[in-house]
Amino acid sequence: METQVIIPDIDPISVPAPIWLLKILLLLTFTLHILAMNVAVGGGLIAAVTEFLGKKNNSQNHFELSRSISKMLPPFTAFTITLGVAPLLFLQVLYGNFFYTSTILIAWPWLSIIVIFILAYYGYYLYSFRWEKLEGKRFVVVLISALLLAVIGLIYTQNIVLMLTPEKWKEIYFNNPHGTSLNLSDPTVIPRYLHFMVAALAVAGLVVIMWGIKKIKINESLGKWGIRYGILWFIVPTLLNIIIGLWFLISLPKNFIMLFMGENIYATVYFMIALLAMFVSLILMFVALNSAKPLAKIIIGKVFLLLTIVMMVLMRHELREAYLQPYLNWDKVQVEPQWGVITIFIILLLAGIVTVIWMLKKSFGQKSNVDPVELS
């Protein structure tokens, strides 16, 4: 006997824009959010490893880099949470009857995100503003903060996967109606989660590369070291993520695997472009590793990495639509466009992006006055 799947009714309130536009805005804002998250989480983990290596080898290069990363972490954490609001809202508008149900089933882990985030954010601020005074404690402070943010990512992943599998809701609820359930038994949760987290290290590695490029103007040896160090942080996680990505793919039910093997033209094209872009970026970074003039190769590699991330976001969307296709009927959704509100949102979004870019240039585009010798 098949288990009956009960899906809550669609919200009777009309959506304020055409479905296609809301999906575009969801994908756009999620991409911006994920880029900021990569720096916040990946940067924190890189800072922790860099602190450890700096102390172990008494390396002033490592200390100079960790100090610079410490200044980046609080603002990028703020960008992560701010840029995460919009995609979360669009997700609720489009898939609210699924998302709210899964959230209720893991209510207490979901609510714990607030406390976990505050602790992680405070740790990053402590690491940034007390960098010198913390001395030997820096490694522990930044590592704990980065791991706390990583825990939030795991909770989000569990929720999103549970949202996509309403056939599990009934069993989960009757086994534990207290909102303390987790969704770790799903075979796709861990590889999906690791796919995001390891990618964060690669993207944060690009930030280290750009730091090295800027440092060359002041300290050539430090800059070249930073470029090589950042390239390694890009290459190693990217190679590892190929294995994790394959694990994620084969963990999916067979009918969803076939979406990327020709059954869905969009998913297949996104998949092929993502693979091609990833390998091109890897090759360029390998060449740049031993190049006398790596800048052009690094810039092109960054472009292909961004293309890879965009394709991954689109693949994720196609997978979500396939999961929910048996339960979704967009024809039943009432649409009453509020073009004034949507126009204001798009204008403010563009203004916000420009403002963030300006802030980053002001904050991290200045030449450093810190001599690495002073950090000894």
Residue 370 pLDDT exceeds 80:
no
pTM score, whole prediction: 0.90
Contact between 34 and 202 under an 8 Å Cβ cutoff? The reply is: no
Residue 258 pLDDT exceeds 60:
yes
Residue 374 pLDDT exceeds 60:
no
Helix axes 138-163, 107-129, angle to 10 degrees: 150
**How confident is the model at residue 371, as a pLDDT?**
38
What is d(CA 266, CA 244) in angstroms, rounded to the nearest whole number?
22
More confident residue, 214 or 119: 119
CA separation, residue 264 to residues 208, 237, 255, 267 (Å): 37, 29, 11, 5
> What is the per-residue pLDDT across 165-209, written as a single tens digit (0 to 9) for each?
999 999 999 998 999 988 888 999 999 999 999 999 999 999 999
Residue 2 pLDDT exceeds 60:
no
Residue 366 pLDDT exceeds 70:
no
Residue 300 pLDDT exceeds 60:
yes
What is d(CA 211, CA 226) in angstroms, rounded to the nearest whole number?
7
Helix axes 19-37, 339-364, angle to 10 degrees: 20
Judged by DSSP in three states, 290 sits in: coil
> Is residue 363 very low, low, confident or very high in pLDDT (cuts 50, 70, 90)?
low
Category of 18 on φ-ψ map: left (φ > 0), alpha (ψ -120 to 50) or beta: beta
DSSP secondary structure letter of residue 284: H
> What is the per-residue pLDDT across 342-354, written as a single tens digit (0 to 9) for each?
899 889 889 988 8
User: Whose CA is closest to 223, among 284, 171, 295?
Assistant: 295
Give residue 60's identity as a one-letter amino acid code.
Answer: Q
- 90-94, 187-191, 280-284, 372-376: segment of lowest average pLDDT: 372-376
Average pLDDT over residues 145-159: 96
Give me the sign of the Cα torsion angle 299, 37, 87, 363.
negative
**How confident is the model at residue 364, as a pLDDT?**
59
Radius of gyration over every alpha carbon of the chain, rounded to an integer in angstroms = 22
**How confident is the model at residue 365, as a pLDDT?**
57
- 56-65, 68-77, 232-241, 288-297: segment of lowest average pLDDT: 288-297
Residue 373 pLDDT exceeds 60:
no
**DSSP secondary structure letters along 170-231:** HHHHHH-TTS----TTSTTHHHHHHHHHHHHHHHHHHHHHHHHHHHHTT-HHHHHHHHHHHH
Q: Structure tokens of 373?
A: 């010798």
What is d(CA 200, CA 35) in angstroms, rounded to the nearest whole number?
8
- 144-148, 169-173, 245-249: segment of lowest average pLDDT: 169-173
What is d(CA 224, CA 215) in angstroms, rounded to the nearest whole number?
8
> Is residue 331 very low, low, confident or very high in pLDDT (cuts 50, 70, 90)?
confident
**How confident is the model at residue 292, as a pLDDT?**
81
More confident residue, 315 or 376: 315
Contact between 54 and 68 under an 8 Å Cβ cutoff? The reply is: no
**How confident is the model at residue 216, as a pLDDT?**
86
Name 366's Cβ contacts closer than 8 Å, sequence gap at least 6.
Answer: none
More confident residue, 117 or 359: 117
> What is the per-residue pLDDT across 17-60, written as a single tens digit (0 to 9) for each?
999 999 999 999 999 999 999 999 999 999 999 999 999 988 89
Residue 99 pLDDT exceeds 80:
yes
**How confident is the model at residue 344, as a pLDDT?**
92
What is d(CA 269, CA 275) in angstroms, rounded to the nearest whole number?
10
> Is residue 376 very low, low, confident or very high in pLDDT (cuts 50, 70, 90)?
very low
Average pLDDT over residues 318-323: 96
> Is residue 302 very low, low, confident or very high in pLDDT (cuts 50, 70, 90)?
very high
Residue 375 pLDDT exceeds 90:
no
Query: How high does pLDDT run on average in the chain?
Result: 90
Average pLDDT over residues 99-116: 95
